[in-house]
Amino acid sequence: MQDALTIGLLTEADIREIAAAFAALGWRKPVGQYERYLVEQGWGERVVLVARVAGIFAGYVTIVWRSGYAPLREAGIPEIVDFNVLPQFRRRGIGSRLLDEAEGRIATHSAVAGIGVGLYADYGAAQRLYMKRGYIPDGRGLIWHGQQVEPGATIVADDDLTLYFTRELRHPV
């Protein structure tokens, strides 16, 4: 399987296939999202890495060079965002290979990578993967809709409830 795995940059030809794969799962990831990603990639704001197994779309990860999360942005730490491997391709090392490639690209710009992860069970595999790779919580606690959750607050456990992590990729020079 490893020989059949390829990772390349998002192209216009990928967009409809990716959106259709997620639509088949009932996930709302429309064509317009990937069209925007392609434009942002062209502007140098985002990198979108697409994994294929024997030519079939398997997953992707994106890097944003200027994080939407203020502590990462202010520290100049790029963020890995929107990381997905289709269920039928999970537990084959594809996610790890995507992260290897993403971290390698980040390491040419920054000694540290950042990543946010959701907190309910659907994110369990990602949570375990990030911990195995050496990501540690940034120490700022729960973030919901970009804001730190205060003790005693009532919030909705949705995709916007996250915990942010960082990982040192190389020692600063």
DSSP 57-113: EEEEEEEESS-SSHHHHHHT--EEEEEEE-GGGTTSSHHHHHHHHHHHHHHTT-SEE
The residue type found at 76 is: G
CA–CA gap between residue 156 and residue 82 (Å, rounded): 20
Asked whether the predicted pLDDT for residue 93 surpasses 90, the reply is no
pTM of the model: 0.90
How far, rounded to the nearest angstrom, does the alpha carbon of residue 69 sit from its chain's CA centroid? 13
Rounded CA separation 132/102 (Å): 16
List, for residues 38-86, the tens digit of each pLDDT value.
Answer: 999 999 999 999 999 999 999 999 999 999 999 999 999 999 999 999 9
* pLDDT value, residue 158: 85
pLDDT tens, residue by residue, 7-40: 999 999 999 999 999 999 888 899 999 999 999 9
Q: Convert the pLDDT of each residue in 109-121 to its tens digit.
A: 999 999 999 888 8
All domains in the chain, ordered by first residue? 2-168 (3.40.630.30)
